[in-house]
A and B are shown apart, each in its own frame.
Chain A
Amino acid sequence: MDERQITGLVRAAMEVDELEAADSGQPTSDLHPSRHRSSRKWWAMWTTVGAVAALVALVISRPESPPSIVSAKIDWEPVRSADAGLVLTVKCDKPAHLSVIAIDERNERWLLRADKTSDSYDRYILDEVQFTLHRFPRPDSPQSGAPIRNVFLVALSKPASAELLLQIIPDPIVSANSNGDEILDKLSAIEQELQRRFRCSVWRLDVPP
């Protein structure tokens, strides 16, 4: 049976299909291709491709939500290298670059990048970190160092430049003759400014006595 015979029989099969449809009053069966059917297929294909492309574009263009600090605590605990130390435990909802800015009793600010406080935090892209802020003044701390009074925790998706962080926090944060309320106001202002500039999660912790 050659191509001509086969196509002749296919045509006949289609015509019988028409005849049956005419007899039964039903539309012809799927033996009849139509442009509409093909067009539907065409549109179905492009709709699928379009939907996938839009989804991919959405995923690519969607700004990554910044990490948030879920919990943080700071407390005095005995440490091996010193008689006591401030142990800071921070938990984020996703890996974060954590910056720690300490304010000492003399209202001076210290930028303590978590990666620099200990070798174990050198990558500091962690969703949970615990590190120790040694009692000030530490042996290796600047001579002007004084006990820490407050700590700012800044969780960022990308490391922030130290320069940028320090621009926001003046040093000292307040003038020497400022009273307690002025210091608190300044700490609140710094917290808000950090949040505004970095659109990030900022926590302020008061060091317990």
Chain B
Amino acid sequence: MSIPWAPDLVLADAAESSTTPKPQIQHLVQSVLSRHENASTNLHRRLVEVFQRFWSTRCTDNPELAERLTADTVTEVMQALVSGRYDPTRASFLTFAYAVARRVGLRYGEWKARRREVELSNFSDSEIDDMRTQVPDLELAEMIDAMRSCLQADASAALSPDERYIILGLVHGKTIAQLSTNLAMSLDSVHRRKIRALEKLRKCMVKKGFP
């Protein structure tokens, strides 16, 4: 995998941990957009560091794949940045980078599915939706940031601790029965809270312009 603007040593340096405080990634992005010297190299190194961790936790049994997905993700993020496809006023940079990483991962999954190496059932419903709809990275990042904002404790969605626990638990793959045991609640209570939480989040997203 070629990384046109990054010297090969970047991947090797990525594991080095710096003892000096790291600059905010958003500042590095601004530096790249302002075409400061070495800015691209610094941001690239930072992205490699982050996405190596991201992909290695998702491809624990295949480090080569993790490396390949890291390289693809970082390449595409940097390309999007220099070609003006990222707008800092619409989404945070890391969310945007995540949207790119997600697309890279799904593209790989789709390719594997086409070769019948993996079944589509290995992917979540929303991942399959994303494969089909191909939401632009920036638009997806905007929606994710909106949802992150809705999930904040003081957000307009204002989920109760139980509702929050249930929604996050479901997303983590817990069943209603497991959540019912964990929360010492009846199945009905958990279900009611889940419906209420979804409705609150939906309304919050509508308020933020995502009907």
**Chain A residues at the B interface, C-beta cutoff of 8 Å:** 1, 3-20, 22-25, 30-33, 35, 37-39, 41-42, 45
Contact = CB atoms under 8 A, between A and B. Distances in A.
B98 A19 contact: yes
Interface stretch (B31-39, B82-90, B114-122, B123-131): B123-131
A43 to B, nearest CB: 11
A16 B144 contact: yes
Given A6-B201, A23-B46, A33-B172, A16 B184 contact: no
Contacts of A5: 126, 129
Interface in B155-173: 164-165, 167-172
B147 A12 contact: yes
Contacts of B143: 9
B148 A17 contact: yes
Interface residues of B, number: 46
A142 to B, nearest CB: 71
B191 interface: no
A9 B144 contact: yes
Contact of B151 (A31, A37, A45): A31
A4 B129 contact: yes
B177 interface: no
Contacts of A16: 94-95, 98, 144-145, 148
Interface of B: 22, 25, 46, 49-50, 53-54, 94-95, 97-99, 102, 124-127, 129-130, 140, 143-148, 151, 153, 164-165, 167-172, 182-184, 198, 201-202, 205-206, 210-211
A98 to B, nearest CB: 53
Contact of A9 (B22, B25, B53, B147): B147
Given A7-B170, A10-B201, A12-B98, A41 B126 contact: no
B19 to A, nearest CB: 12
A32 B171 CA distance: 10
**A-B pairs, 10 with minimum CB distance:** A8-B126, A38-B182, A9-B147, A33-B168, A13-B148, A22-B53, A12-B144, A13-B147, A11-B171, A16-B98
A168 B102 CA distance: 93
Contacts of A12: 98-99, 102, 140, 144, 147
A1 B211 contact: yes
A33 B165 contact: yes
A14 B184 CA distance: 25
A33 B169 contact: yes
A32 B198 contact: no
